[in-house]
């Protein structure tokens, strides 16, 4: 009986399979694969948990961003309102200041006018007195002089009364 090479390959294959089974290599391979599968499942579960946490963190940050945007809008609105109030207040202060300056100017004009009237009255009285003195010096008739003096005093009094009222 001659055995050909296929026979010996077949025998070698069965011996190899026997050695594998004897040393429990298929079970070890199965256990290793099952362990790898379990590790992969755990990693997938952990990845899903991380994904959920990331979604939650993203949602929180989006809420914070939205809240921040609203706060910025409120701050801008408040700043605009404050600016408008400041402009209005400054405008009112300016108008009050100008009104006070106008009143002060009017008061100074009134005082200057009163002083001018007094100066005019004083000058009128001075001129009247000088006129009377000239008349007295140039006049020969004392009775006529008394008459002119009395009338000029009366005229001056009337003129002063008119101007003071």
DSSP annotation string for the chain: ----HHHHHHHHHHHHHHHHHHTTHHHHHHHHHHHHHHHHHHHHHHHHHHHHHHHHHHHHHHHHHHHHHHHHHHHHHHHHHHHHHHHHHHHHHHHHHHHHHHHHHHHHHHHHHHHHHHHHHHHHHHHHHHHHHHHHHH---HHHHHHHHHHHHHHHHHHHHHHH-
Tell me: pLDDT of 115 over 70: yes
Tell me: pLDDT of 140 over 60: no
The answer to whether residue 126 is domain-embedded is: yes
What pLDDT score does 138 carry? 67
Quote the percentage of the chain above a pLDDT of 70.
90
Q: Region 127-139: what's the mean pLDDT?
A: 71
The larger pLDDT score, comparing residue 112 to residue 156, is at 112
The answer to whether residue 15 is domain-embedded is: no
The answer to whether residue 147 is domain-embedded is: yes
What pLDDT score does 57 carry? 95
Q: Region 94-107: what's the mean pLDDT?
A: 94
What pLDDT score does 152 carry? 78
The answer to whether residue 26 is domain-embedded is: no
Domain encompassing residue 111 = 32-164
What pLDDT score does 46 carry? 96
Work out the pLDDT band at 53, boundaries 50, 70, 90.
very high
Work out the pLDDT band at 74, boundaries 50, 70, 90.
very high
The answer to whether residue 128 is domain-embedded is: yes
The answer to whether residue 117 is domain-embedded is: yes
The answer to whether residue 14 is domain-embedded is: no
What pLDDT score does 122 carry? 82
The answer to whether residue 18 is domain-embedded is: no
- Give the chain's domain count: 1
């Amino acid at each position: 009986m001659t055995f050909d090479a296929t026979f010996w390959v077949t025998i070698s294959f069965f011996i190899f399979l026997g050695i594998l089974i004897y040393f429990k290599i298929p079970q070890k391979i199965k256990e290793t694969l099952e362990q790898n599968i379990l590790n992969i499942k755990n990693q997938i579960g952990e990845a899903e948990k991380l994904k959920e946490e990331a979604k939650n963190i993203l949602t929180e940050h989006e809420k914070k961003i939205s809240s921040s945007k609203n706060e910025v809008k409120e701050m801008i609105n408040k700043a605009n309102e404050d600016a408008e109030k400041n402009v209005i207040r400054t405008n009112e202060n300016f108008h009050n200041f100008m009104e006070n300056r106008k009143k002060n100017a009017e008061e100074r004009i009134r005082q200057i006018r009163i002083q001018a009237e007094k100066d005019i009255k004083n000058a009128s009285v001075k001129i009247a007195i000088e006129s009377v003195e000239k008349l007295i010096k140039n006049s020969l008739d004392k009775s006529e002089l008394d008459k002119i003096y009395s009338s000029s005093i009366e005229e001056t009094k009337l003129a002063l009364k008119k101007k003071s009222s």
